[in-house]
Structure 1
Amino acid sequence: MTMRSSTVVGAALAACAVIAAGTACGTTHENAGTGGGQQAAPSKCHGPGGSYTIGMSQANVAEPYRQRMDDDIRQAASTVPQFTVKFADAAQDNAKQVEQVTNFLTQQIDLLIISPNEATPLTAVVKQAYDKGIPVLVLDRKVDGDAYTEFIGADNVDIGRQAGQYFANVLLPQGGKIAELRGLAGSTPAKERADGFDQGIAGHNIQIVAAQDGDWLQDKGEQQADAILKANPDIQAIYSQNDPMAEGARIAATNAGRPDLPITGIDGLPIEAGGIKAVEAGRISATFVYPTGGREAVDAAKKLLIDCQQVPKTDTLSTKLVTKDNAPQVYAELNRQ
C-alpha cells in the first residue's frame, strides 16, 4: 500500500549534467540564503559509481516511533550498496542535536536526514548544511523557514482534525468534557495536532478542560493523566497526541477506577507493542497511522545522490483511522509493504 501523496512545491536540486570527464552536478536552491534562485555549491551527486555517507540526526530514540524511523531508514539503506548511514540520538536535547549535526558537517557527509527535536533551535544548523550545498531531508518535525531540500511527513493538522471529528461524531456526539495530552512543546507536530483537533471539535460542544505536555513519552503521559484525572474526575475521554502517552493514560485511568475511559492516540506503528495492536486489544479506542517516512527518505536520497534527479519540496504522507473494526486489516497491510 502506498502511504504517500507527493505535492511538488518546487525543485530543490537541478538535475546532473553528465560530461565526458565524469559527472558534474550543479544545484540551485530555490530559497537558499537570502536570494531566491541563488546558485549553491556543487551537489553531492556522482551517480551510481559513487559512495555516499548520510547523517541521520534523530530527536530521540526513547519513543518507539523514532526507533522505528531509524529502523526503517536502516533497512531501506541496506538495499543501496552505495550508502553508509551514520545515526545520532539527540535524546530530546536541542543543543546536543545542534552539536551532532555540526559534527556531521565536519565529517563532510553527502546528505543530511534530520527529525528535529524542536523547530526553532534546529533551524540555523539545518540552514547551514543546506547553504553548504548538502541536500537536507527533514522528517516528521519541521524547522522554521524553507532552507531544506525536502520535507517528508504527514499532515499533522489534518490528523488532529480527523481525531477531533472522531470525538465529535463517534465518542461524544452529544458533547462533553475531555482532556488532552500534548507532545513536546516546541515541536511542530504538538502544535499542529492541537490546532487540528480544535478545528475538528469546533461547534460540537466538546470542552477541553485540561491539557498537559507529556513530551511524547509513556511514563510522563501516565503522570500527567493521573494528575488530570484527580483534578477532573468527570472527564469523559482523553485525546493523546501519540500512542505511548495514550498507553500511559490507560494505566492512569485504570488506577483511577476508570478502565473503560475512551482514549485515542496517534502513530499506529505496525509492531506488537504499537498502537494498532493496542486498539485491537481495547487499550486505546482509536489511533491514526503516522508513517515514519524512513523508506521515503532513502528513496529521496537515492534520487538526489545516485540518480541525479529532482525531488519535490514536500512529500505529504497519508494517514488512516484505525479502530477495532479495521485494526487487524491495517496491521497486515502495513506489514506487507
Structure 2
Amino acid sequence: MRTRTALLAVLACGALAATSACSVEKQSDGAGSGSAASSENCGSGKDFLIGMSQANNAEPYRQVMNNDIETAAKAVPGFTVEVADAAQDNSKQVADVENFLTQKINLLIISPNEAKPLTAVVKKAYDQGIPVIVLDRKVEGDAYTAFIGGDNVAIGRAAGEFYAKTLLPDGGKVIEIAGLPGATPAAERAQGFREGIKSNPKIEIIASQPADWLRDKGQTVADALLKAHPDVNAIYAHNDPMAEGAYLAAKSAGLETKIKFTGIDALPVPSGGIKAVQEGRLAATFQYATGGREAVDLAKKILVDCSKDVPRSTTLDTMQVTAENAAEAYTKLGGV
C-alpha cells in the first residue's frame, strides 16, 4: 500500500499524551553506516520513499501504529510511505525488507515479528547506508540507527506490582497468556511480571502459554487452561486482545465474575483496552505507546533536517489504567 504522505513536525516526546513521557539515549560516535542519511541524500524539497515493515496488520495495536505513522506524515511534501504486512510470517517480513531495498527506499521503519530472524536483513539495510528505525520490538545486535519503544520489563513489573499490592493482596493463582515466542516484548513482559509479584509470595503462576498476541487464540488457550485450572483467581495477558479473549473463554465457562483479567496496550480506541476497563471486563491495562509518531518525527530529522545527532534509543513511558482513571486516560491519550 503506497500512500502519498507528508510529515507533521512534532517533538519525539511531545507527541505523546500529557500523562506520558519518554527518555532518550544519544547516538554513539561509533555509529555504523546507516546512522544518518548522507548530505546528498537529505534536505528539504526532495522526494523520499520510506518503507514501513509491519509484523502483522491483524493486531489492533499494529493497526493503530500504522494509523499513527500515516496521521503524523501529513505535512512535508515529498514523503511517500509504503507499508508492507508480514502477517506474522518471518520469511515474508524478510522478503518485504528485501523488496524495499530493491525499491531504493531512503529509510526503513521496521517492527520485527521476531528478533533473531529479522536481524540479518535489518543489518543488510543498515550496512547499505539506509537509516533504520526499529520500532516496538528489537532485533539482535546494534546494526540499526535508532530504537523506539516502551520498556517492556518495566511495564510487566508494574503489572506484577499491581497484582501484588492491589489485585491479589492476599495472594492467589494466576494464569499467564503470553505473546509470540521469540518476540522481545513477550520475554520482557514475562520477566517484569515475575519481578513485580516477588513482594507477595502468596501469588503463584500456575500456568503460562503463548497465544501469539491474538484475541481468538487467547480465547482458545484460555479455554483449555481454565478447564485444567478452574480455581484460578486472575489471568495476566501480555496484551489486551488476549485478555479479552480470555474473558470470553471464562464467560463461556461461567467464571467471568470469579476471575480478574488484565492486559497491556491501553489503546484509546472504542475496541481497545481502556474501554474494556471502563466496561468492567478488564481490571486494568497498562499503556504501551505505539511510537509511530515518534518514528516519523525521527525520519524527518534524518531525511529533511539532515541531523546526525539523533537519539540512539527512545523509551516511551507507561501508565496504569484502572476504573478510577480510565475515562480521563482515554481522553488524554487521544481517544475520541
What TM-score does the superposition give when structure 2 sets the normalisation length? Answer: 0.91
Counterpart secondary structure, 1:173: coil
- Cα RMSD of the aligned pairs, angstroms, is 1.8
Q: 2:8 maps to what in 1?
A: none
Aligned residue identity for 1:245: M
Counterpart secondary structure, 2:213: coil
1:90 & 1:285 partners in 2: Cα distance?
32
Q: 1:216 maps to what in 2?
A: 213
Candidates 237, 240, 244, aligned match of 1:240: 237
1:40 & 1:326 partners in 2: Cα distance?
41
Measured after TM superposition, the shift of residue 334 of structure 1 is: 1.1
1:128 & 1:231 partners in 2: Cα distance?
46
Q: 1:72 maps to what in 2?
A: 68
Counterpart secondary structure, 1:138: strand
Contact 1:43 1:134 in 2 (8 A): no
Task: Identify unmatched segments of 5+ residues in structure 2.
Answer: 1-16
Task: Identify unmatched segments of 5+ residues in structure 1.
Answer: 12-27
Candidates 274, 277, 290, aligned match of 1:276: 274
Structure 1 consecutive aligned stretches of length 4 or more whose deviation exceeds 3 Å: 38-45
Aligned residue identity for 1:85: V
Counterpart secondary structure, 1:202: helix
2:40 & 2:320 partners in 1: Cα distance?
39
Contact 2:37 2:303 in 1 (8 A): no
Q: 2:144 maps to what in 1?
A: 148
Q: 1:160 maps to what in 2?
A: 156
Q: 1:25 maps to what in 2?
A: none
Contact 2:26 2:310 in 1 (8 A): no
Residues 39 and 155 of structure 1: CA distance in aligned 2, closer, same or farther (over 3 Å): closer
Q: 1:307 maps to what in 2?
A: 305
Measured after TM superposition, the shift of residue 85 of structure 1 is: 0.1
Residues 44 and 72 of structure 1: CA distance in aligned 2, closer, same or farther (over 3 Å): farther
Moved more, 307-316 or 212-221: 307-316
Measured after TM superposition, the shift of residue 265 of structure 1 is: 0.2
Measured after TM superposition, the shift of residue 40 of structure 1 is: 8.9
Q: 1:330 maps to what in 2?
A: 329
1:55 paired to 2:58: no
Candidates 85, 97, 100, aligned match of 2:96: 100
Moved more, 154-163 or 306-315: 306-315
Q: 1:262 maps to what in 2?
A: 260
Measured after TM superposition, the shift of residue 291 of structure 1 is: 0.5
Q: 2:105 maps to what in 1?
A: 109
Contact 1:58 1:88 in 2 (8 A): yes
What TM-score does the superposition give when structure 1 sets the normalisation length? Answer: 0.90
Residues 262 and 68 of structure 1: CA distance in aligned 2, closer, same or farther (over 3 Å): same
Measured after TM superposition, the shift of residue 41 of structure 1 is: 8.4
Q: 1:294 maps to what in 2?
A: 292
2:305 & 2:37 partners in 1: Cα distance?
18
1:300 & 1:91 partners in 2: Cα distance?
26
Measured after TM superposition, the shift of residue 46 of structure 1 is: 2.2
Contact 1:43 1:133 in 2 (8 A): no
Contact 1:123 1:144 in 2 (8 A): yes
2:93 & 2:70 partners in 1: Cα distance?
20
Q: Comparing both chains, which one has the higher relative contact order based on Cα–Cα distances under 8 Å and sequence gaps of 6 or more?
A: 2
Task: Give the count of matched residue pairs.
Answer: 316
1:212 & 1:121 partners in 2: Cα distance?
22
Measured after TM superposition, the shift of residue 45 of structure 1 is: 4.0
Aligned residue identity for 1:65: Y
User: Structure 1, residues 265-324: CA drift from partner, whole Å, max 9, x if none?
Assistant: 000000000000000000111001111001000000000000111211101111100001
2:90 & 2:40 partners in 1: Cα distance?
27
Measured after TM superposition, the shift of residue 8 of structure 1 is: 2.0
User: Structure 1, residues 205-244: CA drift from partner, whole Å, max 9, x if none?
Assistant: 2110000101000000000111111001111100000000
User: Structure 1, residues 15-47: CA drift from partner, whole Å, max 9, x if none?
Assistant: xxxxxxxxxxxxx7x3438xxxx9998467421
User: Structure 1, residues 139-158: CA drift from partner, whole Å, max 9, x if none?
Assistant: 00000011111100010000
Counterpart secondary structure, 2:311: coil
Aligned residue identity for 1:218: R
Measured after TM superposition, the shift of residue 336 of structure 1 is: 7.1
Q: 2:24 maps to what in 1?
A: 7
Measured after TM superposition, the shift of residue 203 of structure 1 is: 3.6
Candidates 217, 227, 245, aligned match of 2:224: 227
Residues 316 and 308 of structure 1: CA distance in aligned 2, closer, same or farther (over 3 Å): same
Identity percentage over the alignment?
59
